[in-house]
Amino acid sequence: MIILILLLVVGSFLVYISKFNFAPVTVNLGSYVLSNIPLFYVIVGSVVFGLLVSYLVHLISSVSTYFAMRGKNNQLKKEKEDVLELTKRVHQLEIENEKIKHEPEVTNDDKNAL
């Protein structure tokens, strides 16, 4: 519904601009010359071209941000795997420590034993 209202507002604005800007103008695009183009078309074309250029700049920025975030996500995944491996190793060492604590002490009665 919001899009429909927005389209109606933009359409009304374009009709208002076109009503007062129908004077023919000559447009030079490099070596191309377009003559007797209504000023309204030049205005709308400039706005559309500006929107396309800004969209392309935004798209390039989004793509570069995506690749940066992807690299960070891969780095985070690697770090999480390292933490998991270290946690497993700590758990194994704790188990070994408990085994050593609860083992009966073996004493040698032989005085010549090392």
Q: Is the pTM of this model over 0.75?
A: no
- Confidence at 20, pLDDT banded by 50, 70, 90: confident
Alpha-carbon distance values, 17 to 34, 40, 51 (Å)? 21, 7, 18
Distance CA 42, CA 65 (A): 34
Distance CA 46, CA 114 (A): 95
Q: Identify the pLDDT of residue 104.
A: 73
The whole-number average pLDDT for the span 65-81 is 93
pLDDT of residue 66 exceeding 90? yes
Q: What does the pLDDT look like over 27-56, one tens digit per residue?
A: 998 899 999 999 999 999 999 999 999 999
- Confidence at 103, pLDDT banded by 50, 70, 90: confident
Residue extents of the structural domains in the chain: 15-75
The whole-number average pLDDT for the span 5-21 is 89
